[in-house]
Amino acid sequence: MTDEPNCLTPECEARNAGRELVREKLTAIMEHYKKVVGVDLEAVRNAVQAKLN
């Protein structure tokens, strides 16, 4: 998930601000899973994606 480059409008900046919040929440959840159940959700995601492709 990457930011939109060269933002020239407030709407674009708002979307990028939203992306930053989502990244923050995603990081928090993934670290939480590693801590409490020892599972890397990114690895689970990769396993699912490999089967989808």
The CB density around residue 26, as the number of other CB atoms within 10 Å, is 13
7 binds other proteins (CB under 8 A): no
Query: Shortest Cβ distance from residue 11 to other proteins (Å)?
Result: 8
Query: Shortest Cβ distance from residue 30 to other proteins (Å)?
Result: 8
Which residues, 6+ apart, have CB-to-CB distance to 19 below 8 Å?
1, 2, 3
The 8-class DSSP code of residue 9 comes to: S
Question: Which chain residues interact with other proteins by CB under 8 A?
Answer: 1, 14-15, 17-22, 24-26, 28-29, 31-33, 36-45, 47-49, 51-52
